[in-house]
Amino acid sequence: MIYRNQKNLEIWNKYGDNVLMVMPFEDNIIVKAKDCMIEDADGNRFLDLASGQLCAVLGHNHPNLVERIVNQAREVIHSGTNFLSLPVMEAASKLAEVATGDLKKSIFLSTGSEANECALRLAKIHTQRTGMAGFTLGYSGMTLAMRSVSSSFGVPIASRPAVPDSHSILTPYCRKCPVDAEYPQCDFLCLQVSENELGRDKDEIAAFIVEPIISAGGMIVPPDGYFKRLKEFVNRCGALLIADEAQTG
Ligand SMILES: Cc1ncc(COP(=O)(O)O)c(C=O)c1O
């Protein structure tokens, strides 16, 4: 198939000046998506290996999902924050059925950053503490608090100063071990060093927020047994552990 880029560029020429370039966007203007394929204005088709922003878990435009969205839009599209709608309550109930342990309550938000902010605020209320910590190579979102515990892209001027009481712990990145040790003989030295570095600050941490697989930081899979030891450490601190599953699901 010949790659074309004429209509894409025409659209950019017509509208591009009014788009805030917060990142280097691709030329391709996406006009259609179906199953695992996306199509641009010039008819170029791509296999979408990223599932959109990692969210099209049913494939793009699954007919059942489209039907549910259209039907619901005919009934209610929007209500004030002080009201709930029936599908929200049904979805919470279904999640409670499949969630493990005593995870029985849900809140539905629009973005991963919002979900993490909300989890963190709940942790602060629960623990009556103000601190938070994330991995040195973690990424939890674009909001100011999340950028304060996300160091994977450095800390650009737009994210400074960090929210007070933000901390980090070493990423369990065995291939490039941050403490030059060897797994499993290391006995999770990275955690022990992190604990020492936090010192007394650890007693003020409400929650540690971590990705099960550190994604933006380099698709790093922590070694077996790491999360058990992390949970023990978090318990010792009297803090909560938030699993940011925005990418892993
Ligand atoms: C692990 C992780 N957490 C949080 C976020 C933030 O999600 P959102 O961009 O929907 O705010 C992302 C986004 O890519 C992510 O990868």
Looking at residue 233, its pLDDT comes to 97
What is the tens place of the pLDDT at every residue in 29-40? 999 999 999 999
Residue 179 is predicted with a pLDDT of 97
Convert the pLDDT of each residue in 103-161 to its tens digit.
999 999 999 999 999 999 999 999 999 999 999 999 999 899 999 988 766 667 777 88
The reported pLDDT for the residue numbered 161 is 83
- Sign of the C-alpha dihedral computed for residues 185, 190, 194 and 197 taken in this order: positive
- pLDDT per residue over 226-245, tens digit each? 999 999 999 999 999 999 99
Which domains does the chain carry?
Answer: 6-64 (3.90.1150.10), 112-243 (3.40.640.10)
Q: What is the pLDDT of residue 153?
A: 64
**Residue 239, phi then psi, degrees to nearest 5:** -105, 180
**Helix pair angle (189-198, 226-237), 10° resolution:** 20
pLDDT (tens digit, 9 = 90+) per residue, 71-84? 999 999 999 989 99
Instruction: Rounding to the nearest 10 degrees, give the CA dihedral for residues 181, 187, 190, 192.
Output: -130
Measured by CA distance, the residue closest to atom 7 of ligand 1 is 112
Mean pLDDT, rounded, of the chain: 94
Which residues, 6 or more positions from 92, have their beta carbon under 8 angstroms from its beta carbon?
105, 106, 108
Segment 57-70 mean pLDDT: 95
Q: Whose CA is nearest to atom 8 of ligand 1?
A: 112
Q: How far is the CA of 186 from the centre of ligand 1 (A)?
A: 31
HSE, CB side, 13 Å, CA atoms: give it for residue 18.
3
- Which of 108, 244, 248 for a ligand 1 pocket mutation test, highest count of atoms within 8 Å of Cβ? 244
Which ligand 1 atom is the nearest neighbour of the CA of 54? 14
DSSP bridge partners of 214: 220
Instruction: Spell out the residues 6+ positions from residue 225 whose beta carbon is closer than 8 angstroms to its own.
Output: 184, 188
Task: Output the ligand 1 site: residues, CB below 6 A.
Answer: 111-113, 116, 139-142, 211, 215-216, 244, 246-247
**How far is C-alpha 66 from the geometric centre of its chain's CA atoms?**
24
Cα-Cα end-to-end distance for the chain: 34
Q: Are 32 and 39 in contact (CB under 8 A)?
A: yes
Q: 247 C-alpha vs ligand 1 centroid, how far in Å?
A: 7
User: Ligand 1, closest atom to CA 110?
Assistant: 10
Give yes or no for residue 203 having a pLDDT over 90. Answer: yes
What's the pLDDT score for residue 54?
83
How far is ligand 1, taken at its centre, from the CA of residue 7, in Å?
A: 31
How much is the ipTM here? Answer: 0.98
